[in-house]
């Protein structure tokens, strides 16, 4: 799926019936997809429906307002938001919804993602964004933490998540080859 665009993933996911996409993955730019696809792939591996969208706090602010204000009514349960540089998207979306928002700092060219991290993590008290690591690890873990939230009320998913984790543990060799 690595060659796929955010739009292609979104359209494929939109084939799912309404209500079967509990996770929204949003990102500030098409250029974020190379990072954010790891969140999508993690959710896919766990059988969790998701919708991938490009929503920019700066370039498409009206789209961002419409998305965030309508997210709960649209049936989303968790939002994963990735952005880089002046990464205001996760915080702005969190200010517009009470759904849990997990922020992924995308690695920027100018500052290797430190700018993204700082602008996502340092939220004022009262408007939370659960901030993950910079880049691929953060995107992957955003998928996993979204899964953990959904698994609280989905026993079958909880089993799949436990199996996923067990398989990762089993894959760690005792010694390097």
CA atoms of 42 and 32, how far apart (whole Å)? 16
Determine whether the annotation assigns residue 56 to a binding site: no
Phi-psi sector, 135: left (phi>0), alpha (psi -120 to 50), beta? left
Closest approach of ligand RP5 to the CB of residue 131, in Å: 15
DSSP 107: P
CA atoms of 111 and 37, how far apart (whole Å)? 22
Instruction: Identify which of 47, 41, 40 has the alpha carbon closest to the alpha carbon of residue 26.
Output: 40
Task: CB nearer to ligand RP5: give 55 or 144.
Answer: 55
CA atoms of 79 and 65, how far apart (whole Å)? 14
What residues numbered 31-50 form the site for ligand RP5, per CB under 6 A?
A: 31-32
Check residue 135 for interaction with ligand RP5 (CB under 6 A). no
Task: CB nearer to ligand RP5: give 6 or 161.
Answer: 6
Contact call for residues 143 and 78 (beta carbons, < 8 A): no
Determine whether the annotation assigns residue 112 to a binding site: no
Check residue 106 for interaction with ligand RP5 (CB under 6 A). yes
Check residue 8 for interaction with ligand RP5 (CB under 6 A). no
Task: CB nearer to ligand RP5: give 31 or 98.
Answer: 31
Closest approach of ligand RP5 to the CB of residue 48, in Å: 23
Task: CB nearer to ligand RP5: give 94 or 149.
Answer: 94
CA angle 60, 61, 65 (to 5 degrees): 125
String of contacts with ligand RP5 for each residue 47-86, x by CB under 6 A: ---------x-x------------------------xxx-
Determine whether the annotation assigns residue 29 to a binding site: yes
Beta bridge partners of residue 51, listed in sequence order: 24
CA angle 32, 34, 37 (to 5 degrees): 95
Chosen residue from 9, 13, 29, 141 binding ligand RP5 by CB under 6 A? 29
Interacting residues toward ligand RP5 by CB under 6 A: 28-29, 31-32, 56, 58, 83-85, 106
């Amino acid at each position: 799926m690595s060659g796929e665009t955010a739009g292609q993933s979104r359209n494929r996911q939109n084939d799912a019936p309404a209500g079967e996409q509990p996770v929204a993955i949003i990102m500030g730019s098409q250029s974020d997809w190379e990072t954010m696809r790891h969140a999508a792939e993690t959710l896919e591996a766990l059988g969790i429906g998701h919708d991938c969208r490009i929503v920019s706090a700066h370039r498409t602010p009206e789209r961002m307002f419409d998305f965030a204000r309508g997210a709960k009514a649209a049936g989303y349960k968790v939002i994963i938001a990735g952005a880089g540089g002046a990464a205001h998207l996760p915080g702005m979306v969190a200010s517009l919804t009470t759904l849990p928002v997990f922020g992924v700092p995308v690695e920027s060219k100018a500052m290797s993602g430190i700018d993204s991290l700082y602008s996502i993590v340092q939220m004022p008290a009262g408007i939370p964004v659960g901030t993950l690591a910079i880049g691929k690890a953060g995107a992957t873990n955003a998928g996993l933490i979204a899964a953990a939230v959904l698994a609280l009320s989905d026993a079958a998913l909880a089993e799949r998540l436990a199996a996923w984790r067990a398989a990762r543990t089993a894959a760690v060799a005792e010694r390097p080859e």
